[in-house]
Structure 1
């Protein structure tokens, strides 16, 4: 089936960009953090997409708080860092106290952001309900369609695409959308995943917690302190939310039998009583914005794709809130998948490239979840958050021995399958500086050493031969810009002065050479290999085909 039908015209409603296409290259089910990230990143690569979200709009509850350094790098690459900075703050640290009014707090962990020496972005505290509007606006600005109040009710895939039925929840009318690929970002209870029969491995919904988001003047007991979070006896936690100019707070406590059977108004009274106790302000009258009961699932799907359907975010993995790695892992799912779909749709990559999504991201998710749980249980094997954010490795795309699921990001190797290491470089005649990561665009990037002048014509030939955009930079070779006065680049990336590194569009190393190429064709072959590119492949449409 490759036709479309509509049971009635879809009205233009608040928040819609129009009725939506009947045909689109990519359909995204779910318009929360992972789905909106996918929309922005697909649009960044020039792929038209439609996002359908069953809710009427972005949810008010802050939910995810931490934006890791790796997610910050993803959004920095596409120009969203200034907008995110405007609604976020930098982490100040976790503390332990008896009440918020204690004269001194006990610091938990090192002060400041330990990722700043190894990342140009660093970590941020950014509530999900503040980040999602930025992603929504950017997705629409770049041409993606995002429709709220729409629900994917069923779908069927065939060798050429997916036919999906979309329900307008406000009118009860349905329409059919034909797409090349379906991305399921529809949450931990993903109907798409369940329809595919993909099982989850792990535990769902246990243990349960109560979270209360509120506004209140806590300055009388804070005395100018602005902790990221304060842990109290009984596993109660108070998180700083919002921004310093518009502060909010979130109080969390393990769900208890009293709370389990309580009505909403009883939950509110319970939360207010607890807040007065942990803040040390017996007369506190908090402005409670929301009270939410939720379960902390720890699950990973047994596979992340089937045919032309791909799982990402909570549909593929759900993690406890420790370290804020769940939502960030979903952002990086989208980052990994978007460029691959774009390359296949354009005909510059073979279909087997999409098989690498499951191979790469399922391993990262399972490894991250294990260490999040190990941290919760205070096991000595638990890795530090910086390694989980920036040190994970994909299988070596050149077929070399597997180096394991991660490496120390403070001592990166530059090996194939690793995140390209960050290095500040002087730029524009020493008047500014850029990170090596800032050089990456929507295509492949070749970083050559200071004596790698032979890579420049090789890059031109490879781009022409493969049909793939390829930017080439000679780092530190006069009159090159950016420079490398300390000659740190070759050693950081594990090459000699005449060597080079080929970096994928998602910032991961695809291939490296210690010395100059014996033939210029070597680079073209490496690009083709990284794309699983056959000798000839008819292109599929990338833009709207309606």
Structure 2
């Protein structure tokens, strides 16, 4: 007989990159949770290398993005086809191709700063350790060597049976579950959720090793397609002395054979090699047909398994999943919002995963793996993919189906459903980003004093507190029209921004009854009880 189950708000299954990110975000929103991870810690063979500026923005909101080293502003992830590192170097392989003159701009557009952050060039295990330390410092309950063996959900919650490393079992019950247990997710499979997409691409084997090869990084290239008659492989660095050689085959090699292959890829026999570990994994592209089953949510590879790519569409997409969900769980568990708010998670995040799936196969790295080539999918601008994928859901007012799936922030100009634009402002003598204004609250940005009065009236009667930011008064602007241009409103308009930094609604001008209009917009977007 089991003891009565422990109680928590959210059960997070999976304690690697996405599960630890969930721990950080849930801690930020003060949501009670428990993380269950069947392994003892991070994998010895990290998969992801490098994290995008948008991911850094999410951690910036939690106040610890300074723990991640920024890449330079001029950094570009470059790949070259080579005979070997020391041998012939052939052509550079671009990530985003412009296949026809029609697609190529006649003049280069002016460089716009879309983010207060640059990406971070670190390995997944390094990232996980930083997240683990941050979550632990916030009091997170992280349980390693705790394996979920049974899941049962009912109308009020989810109960799991957990087996500890010593064989003892216990029950844990939460109001909701977040499944971040990888591409072979037992939670997803138990729910019977199918997946769609390109499917299996190939089985690959890899070897992680340490060697002094930094001299070959001096040209700014860090990824190498090894092209020899008897060796087809991919070589890249983790920028910390570790390298990984990925074989495009499913052949098991012993230590001597692995070292011989590494020497062949490098093109030198006089280098010392320290083998760390090997890996075997299936490269797939599959997206779950649903990201929610009642009180259980899929995130990360459990929701979308995407092959390694230079757009960072795998790990970074998973981190954004749990950022999208964390504030919604807080709102529902606190009784502020109706449970229907959680249904917008699938509405908003699944289209992002589907678009990223499709974009991988119209770019050069994977174009050869496209099963049915067609001209229907155009290559979307990298900045649009990173900062400008549009959310459409019942939590967004004014994001119609006629709008494109992604645009650059300057093209969206404050469109509801887009991530709020970044520009620098002055507050209390400090220069900050507009993205720093939102903290963990709903925020109303405006210039006209009438909106301040409307927000104050709502705060006196609504369960949610709106943060009011009078642009030009509460924060200083570099130019008087910076705000209105970026957010696509007049000086009498206003923009309502969600806790995750996405624009839920805007009023281009001042309506006759701003209080009533704002009340209706917030009640709808936040699913207020």
* TM > 0.5 fold call: yes
Q: Match for residue 368 of structure 1?
A: 356
Unmatched segments (≥5 aa) in structure 2: 97-109
Structure 2 Cα separation of the partners of residues 6 and 510 of structure 1: 44
Partner SS, residue 163 of structure 2? strand
- 8 Å CA contact retained: 2:388, 2:406: yes
* Corresponding residue number in structure 1 for 2:187: 192
Q: Which residue of 2 aligns with 1:274?
A: 261
**Cα deviations by residue, 1:187-211 (Å, 9 ceiling, x for unpaired):** 1111111111111113554312222
Q: 1:314 to 1:446 in 2, by over 3 A?
A: same
1:82-101 alignment, distance < 5 Å: 82-85=66-69, 91-96=75-80, 97-101=82-86
- Of 23, 42, 62, 1:39 maps to 23
Aligned to 2:103: none
Deviation at 1:119, TM superposition (A): 1.1
Instruction: Give the equivalent residue in structure 2 for 1:161.
Output: 157
Q: Which whole-Å CA distance do the structure 2 matches of 1:412 and 1:398 have between them?
A: 15
Structure 1 match to 2:444: 446
Structure 1 residue 410: deviation in Å? 4.8
What is aligned with 1:12? none
Match of 1:36, SS? helix
Structure 2 distance, partners of 1:532, 1:93, is 41
Q: Which residue in the other structure is 1:356 paired with?
A: 344
Q: Is the 8 A contact 2:161 2:171 kept in 1?
A: yes
How far apart, CA to CA, are the structure 1 residues paired with 2:30 and 2:350? 26
Deviation at 1:69, TM superposition (A): 1.7
CA contact (8 A) 1:92 1:228 kept: no
Q: 1:181 to 1:223 in 2, by over 3 A?
A: closer
> Which of 483, 488, 494 is residue 482 of structure 2 equivalent to?
488
Say if 2:45 and 2:208, in contact at 8 Å, map to a contact too. yes
Q: Tell me how far 1:368 sits from its aligned partner.
A: 0.8
Change (3 A) 1:109 1:201: closer
Q: Is the 8 A contact 1:475 1:484 kept in 2?
A: no
Q: 1:400 to 1:388 in 2, by over 3 A?
A: closer
Please tell me whether the aligned partners of residues 446 and 470 of structure 1 are also in contact (alpha carbons under 8 angstroms). yes
Q: Contact 1:31 / 1:146 at 8 angstroms: preserved in 2?
A: yes
Cα distance in structure 2, aligned partners of 1:115 and 1:99: 35
- Residues 160/338 of structure 1: CA separation in 2 closer, same or farther (3 Å cut): same
Cα distance in 2 for residues equivalent to 1:140 and 1:204: 37
Equivalent of 2:388 in 383, 388, 391: 391
Verify: 1:71 aligned to 2:55, yes or no.
yes
Matched residue, 2:435: 437
CA contact (8 A) 2:410 2:486 kept: no
Q: Do 1:94 and 1:231's aligned partners in 2 also have CA atoms closer than 8 Å?
A: no
> In structure 2, what is the equivalent of residue 240 of structure 1?
237
Residues 196-207 of structure 1: matches in 2 within 5 Å?
Answer: 196-207=191-202
d(CA) in 2 for partners of 1:121, 1:512: 26
Partner of 2:115: 119
Distance (Å, rounded) in 2 between the aligned partners of 1:116 and 1:274: 43
Matched, 1:321 2:311: no
The corresponding residue for 1:304 is: 291
Using the alignment, how far apart are the partners of 2:140 and 2:511 within structure 1? 41
**Alignment counterpart, residue 183 of structure 1, candidates 173, 178, 181:** 178
Say whether the 8 Å CA contact 1:387–1:409 is kept in structure 2. yes
Provide the C-alpha distance between the structure 2 equivalents of 1:180 and 1:110, rounded to a whole number of angstroms. Answer: 42
CA distance in 2, matches of 1:223, 1:341: 44
In structure 2, do the counterparts of structure 1 residues 465 and 454 end up closer, same or farther at CA, with 3 Å as the change threshold?
same
Runs of at least 5 residues in structure 1 that lack an aligned partner in the other structure: 8-20, 535-546
Of 211, 216, 220 in structure 1, the residue corresponding to residue 211 of structure 2 is 216
Q: Matched residue pairs, number?
A: 497
TM-score by length of 1: 0.85
**Corresponding residue for residue 499 of structure 1:** 493
Cα drift, residue 386 of structure 1: 2.6
Q: How far apart, CA to CA, are the structure 1 residues paired with 2:381 and 2:404?
A: 16
Seen in structure 2, the aligned counterparts of structure 1 residues 108 and 84 have a Cα distance that, compared at 3 Å, is same
Alignment correspondent of 1:537: none
With normalisation by structure 2, the TM-score equals 0.88
Q: Distance in 2 between matches of 1:398 and 1:92?
A: 36
Match of 1:540 in 2: none
Other-structure match for 1:425: 425
Higher deviation after alignment, 270-279 or 488-497: 270-279
Whether 2:247 is the aligned partner of 1:253: answer yes
Correspondence for 2:140:
144
Deviation track 1:258-306 (CA, whole Å, cap 9, x = no partner) reads x1xx2xxx34333322221222222223111122121111101110111
Structure 1's 302 and 511: CA in aligned 2 closer, same or farther, altered over 3 A? same
Is the contact between residue 93 and residue 109 of structure 1 (CA under 8 Å) also seen in structure 2?
no
RMSD of aligned Cα (Å): 2.5
Aligned to 2:100: none
Question: Relative to structure 1, is the Cα distance of residues 279 and 51 closer, same or farther in structure 2, using a 3 angstrom cutoff?
Answer: same
Rounded to whole Å, the distance in 2 between the matches of 1:213 and 1:515 is: 58
SS class of match (2:57)? helix
Mapped to 2, the partners of 1:276 and 1:52 lie a distance apart of 41
The aligned counterpart of 2:65 is 81
Q: Is the 8 A contact 1:93 1:108 kept in 2?
A: no
Give the structure 2 partner of residue 15 of structure 1.
Answer: none
- Structure 1's 330 and 140: CA in aligned 2 closer, same or farther, altered over 3 A? same
Which runs of structure 1 show a deviation greater than 6 angstroms over 4 or more consecutive aligned residues? none
Please name the residue that 1:528 is paired with.
523
